[in-house]
Structure 1
Amino acid sequence: VAAIFTAIIQSSSATTAIVIAMSIQGIIGIEAAIPLILGSNIGTCFTAGIASVGSSISGKRVALSHLFFNIGGVVLFLFFINKFAYLVSLTSSSIPRQIANAHTLFNVINAAILLPFLSLFVKLVVKLLPGEEIVIKKGPIYLNKDMLNTPSIALSQATKELVRMGEMVESMLNDVMMSFIQNDLNILKSVYLKEEVVNTLEKEITKYLVLISQRSLSPKQSKRLTDLMNIVNDIERVGDHAENLAELSEEKINEKLPFSEKALNELKFMFSKVQFSLNKS
């Protein structure tokens, strides 16, 4: 009952406060309150579970870990519930205070017991929720303003950042293609994430190139800078097209639109041509 109530109100603290209020009125004692406190610790897991919907793989793993941690602790404590009630009764002569202490002691003791098994716990959660976390640095990693007074080096740094941007766009196209084939919406999350990064890089690289243009450049360096400016815009547009394709793939998946084998093969052929052009450029 406490687990369901806590899941509805999404707060174990609120459940604990209600149990304390009931004890003040003399409705329940510590023996009846402890099962409610244990139940509230299970109910609070549903809040994390709801929050993890649509989140990254790490977010889902945290929610699952929270659930296993609390359920495991509650099951363990049920075997020693009378002894736990006695231990809690020693902490204070006031039943409301005992209930509050029971909530704290459960979490502290549970953590102390399960801590030695943390590595096994992690392996279990990863096995149940396999996959790799997408970690992408949103900002530039090669653009160094200290190099602006040496245009040749600054242009090389801008080129490296541009290559990184191009590789990200290429991976976006690969992800879109995979989503069309596998009908997997999760793949598209990385596309939208990378599109944000590509937009950021386009702005930062352009700013950096403008700063380089304010230095004294040789004719060859000026031409290279102009070429880089054009390439930045071109790659950013390809990223926009990849995002548009991702939206089409999302619509296809949501509407459950079937693609024939012939259509998929034609799609693969077109994607291969786009990838070839990207690699050549």
Structure 2
Amino acid sequence: MLPVAFMIYLAGAVMLLLWAVRMVRTGVERAHGTRLKAALRGAKGGTAQMALVGMILAVVLQSSTAVGILAAGFVTSGILTVSTGIAALLGADLGSALVVKILSFDLSGLIPLLLLVGATMFLKFEGRNIRQTGRIVLGVAFILLSLQMVGQATEPLRDSALMPGLMGYLRGDPLTAFLVAAVIAWVVHSSVATVLLFVTFASGGMLPLEVALPMVLGANLGGGIIAVWLTRGMEIEARRIPVGNLIFRGVAAALMLVVVQVVDLPVAYLGASEAVQLVNFHLGFNLVLVVLALPFVRPMARLAAILLPDPAAARADVIEPIASMLDRASVKTPAVALASAKRELLRMGETVALMYHPVMELLDGGAAEKIARVRALDSLVNRKHTEIKLFIAEVNRGALTGAEARLGTELTDFSINLEHIGNIIARSLMGLAETRARKNLRFSPEGWAEMCNLHSRVGANLQLALNVLISGDVASARQLVKEKEAMRKLERESHDRHLERLRNAHSDSIDTSDIHLETVRAFKEINSLLVTVAYPILTESGHLLESRLAQPG
């Protein structure tokens, strides 16, 4: 195979592997994300239980990083402690090692069947969960197919004149092999895919065990770095979880690297082939790490707090001023002025999105300071609303075309609606969160799943509404208006199911009935306010009827 063709083939196989791993994870998150989050938030029996739940979630999601991000989010909202979050992430690392073990078996004969079943479920069925299950099955098939492609691509390298020299160098420099593998795992953002690549290379005779062991240890270090990198923008408390896990993994991997060089480990007992030995070594390393590290998660949480201390000046009611996008110098040029108003309105919408995003976490267990922070954002939204409204009023005093005057009115109206959404979040939803926390109430699993589903849908519609604001796209506007009817149907179904639970005397539903109904109603109202941004676009293009009332016969 020519060098260029070889590189393209190998790169394509590797990218298929990365995409397939992500495909499985997204399918699971879309079909069962609410249940998985509920499982994590409900596991409060201790570090051992958290590790077990983290392991199971990582097997399902095929990603310990995804579990780490979930745990970090729950720590931010006060549902989990840092120590239990670290325990969950340790268990998740063991779960990802189990995924490698499962996928290392020769399952290539199942590829055609998995492709057939997965594609049929995804293309021929309308149900969301069935389609996402099809996505998961297809993802598994693509993982197996990509590993087969990697094996075929690297087969010519066995006879390459470069390989003996390269492997000989890495044999003599295990630290370089260790660090290179850590960088590879971080770059591809998947320790599962990285270890599977090394196992495939080992099974093809390209990677001798003396080099593969340090590289697997390096992949474990790189896997820990991924979560630290992805949570770097979260709050300090959330970032302590991946940092604590990284310290555990980094120290353990470095110590094991020394042991591998000093002691002649009996790896032959781990399997009949080098590939099997490598997989079992990876699994054993993570199992031993969980057993040894779990008793020390609380001291590690304290160490993480020392390394990442709370900012001394952090206050829930302080918000950094943001420079306004309103261009006062352009007031006499309406087209430019209204464009700057639209940009500032987008910033206002993004602030509302920041308020909306943590609503479910705060309803589940948000601390008072977190709720205060959301309410502080509402004052920023109110200020932006006032500035936009007065700015557009000043522009309207000049000479405007009819289209410019209409645009100014539309922007003002949407600004009013965004300000109202901020009020709903700050006053109504945060008030409900305080009531739930004060009375220490628990939602029923069914009710919680319904609210999470509605919250997620409205969150997606919020982003769609901001896109429609900027693009003015008719197709997107139509989709947004259709969501209003879909939300009305979902709200009615949730209402009916809730009443059914009340009739069946579910204690959790009875205790949280008012909060559930008011939350669902708030979500519906927020969604209706968002949809208004699409009406002018559809009216102008002739895609909106003036009235929904039927004409009398």
TM-score (norm 2): 0.27
Instruction: Supply the AA of the counterpart residue of 1:177.
Output: M
The alignment status of 1:223 with 2:406, answered yes or no, reads yes
Q: Is the 8 A contact 2:364 2:433 kept in 1?
A: no
How far does residue 186 in structure 1 lie from its aligned partner after superposition? Answer: 2.8
What secondary structure, in the 3-state scheme, does the structure 2 residue paired with 1:216 have? coil
Give deviations 1:40-86, integer Å, cap 9, x for gaps: xxxxxxxxxxxxxxxxx99xxxxxxxxxxxxxxxxxxxxxxxxxxxx
- Please give the alpha-carbon distance, in whole angstroms, between the structure 2 residues aligned to 1:280 and 1:132: 36
Picking from 127, 135, 160, the partner of 2:308 is 127
The alignment status of 1:234 with 2:382, answered yes or no, reads no
Q: Which residue of 2 aligns with 1:158?
A: 341
Give deviations 1:195-237, integer Å, cap 9, x for gaps: 1111111111100010011111122211111110110111111
Picking from 440, 446, 464, the partner of 1:256 is 440
How far does residue 148 in structure 1 lie from its aligned partner after superposition? Answer: 0.7
The alignment status of 1:170 with 2:353, answered yes or no, reads yes
What secondary structure, in the 3-state scheme, does the structure 1 residue paired with 2:358 have? helix
CA root-mean-square deviation? 2.8
Q: Is the 8 A contact 1:185 1:253 kept in 2?
A: no
Distance 1:126 1:195, change over 3 A: farther
- Please give the alpha-carbon distance, in whole angstroms, between the structure 1 residues aligned to 2:312 and 2:451: 27
How far does residue 169 in structure 1 lie from its aligned partner after superposition? Answer: 0.9
Q: Is the 8 A contact 1:140 1:201 kept in 2?
A: no
* Residue-pair matches, total: 161
Taking the TM superposition and a 5 Å limit, the aligned residue runs for 1:191-230 are 191-230=374-413
How far does residue 138 in structure 1 lie from its aligned partner after superposition? Answer: 4.8
Larger relative contact order, structure 1 or 2 (CA cutoff 8 Å, min sep 6): 1
Q: Which residue of 1 aligns with 2:362?
A: 179
Distance 1:124 1:173, change over 3 A: closer
Q: Which residue of 2 aligns with 1:276?
A: 460
What secondary structure, in the 3-state scheme, does the structure 1 residue paired with 2:398 have? coil
How far does residue 146 in structure 1 lie from its aligned partner after superposition? Answer: 1.0
- Please give the alpha-carbon distance, in whole angstroms, between the structure 2 residues aligned to 1:146 and 1:277: 34
How far does residue 139 in structure 1 lie from its aligned partner after superposition? Answer: 6.4
Q: Which residue of 2 aligns with 1:246?
A: 430
How far does residue 150 in structure 1 lie from its aligned partner after superposition? Answer: 1.5
Mean Cα deviation higher: 178-187 or 195-204: 178-187
Instruction: Supply the AA of the counterpart residue of 1:191.
Output: V
What secondary structure, in the 3-state scheme, does the structure 2 residue paired with 1:142 have? coil
Q: Which residue of 1 aligns with 2:506?
A: none
Q: Which residue of 2 aligns with 1:97?
A: none
Instruction: Supply the AA of the counterpart residue of 1:188.
Output: I
- Please give the alpha-carbon distance, in whole angstroms, between the structure 2 residues aligned to 1:139 and 1:209: 19
How far does residue 136 in structure 1 lie from its aligned partner after superposition? Answer: 3.3
Q: Is the 8 A contact 2:365 2:437 kept in 1?
A: no
- Please give the alpha-carbon distance, in whole angstroms, between the structure 1 residues aligned to 2:414 and 2:357: 20
How far does residue 149 in structure 1 lie from its aligned partner after superposition? Answer: 1.5
What secondary structure, in the 3-state scheme, does the structure 2 residue paired with 1:136 have? coil
Give deviations 1:156-205, integer Å, cap 9, x for gaps: 11111111111111111112222123433332122110011111111111
Instruction: Supply the AA of the counterpart residue of 1:242.
Output: I
- Please give the alpha-carbon distance, in whole angstroms, between the structure 2 residues aligned to 1:248 and 1:213: 40
- Please give the alpha-carbon distance, in whole angstroms, between the structure 2 residues aligned to 1:274 and 1:213: 33
Q: Is the 8 A contact 2:381 2:419 kept in 1?
A: yes
What secondary structure, in the 3-state scheme, does the structure 1 residue paired with 2:357 have? helix
Picking from 332, 335, 341, the partner of 1:149 is 332
How far does residue 269 in structure 1 lie from its aligned partner after superposition? Answer: 1.2
Give deviations 1:74-106, integer Å, cap 9, x for gaps: xxxxxxxxxxxxxxxxxxxxxxxxxxxxxxxxx
Q: Which residue of 2 aligns with 1:62?
A: none
Q: Is the 8 A contact 1:139 1:200 kept in 2?
A: no
What secondary structure, in the 3-state scheme, does the structure 2 residue paired with 1:143 have? coil
TM-score (norm 1): 0.52
- Please give the alpha-carbon distance, in whole angstroms, between the structure 1 residues aligned to 2:417 and 2:346: 13
Q: Is the 8 A contact 1:176 1:191 kept in 2?
A: no
Distance 1:257 1:266, change over 3 A: same
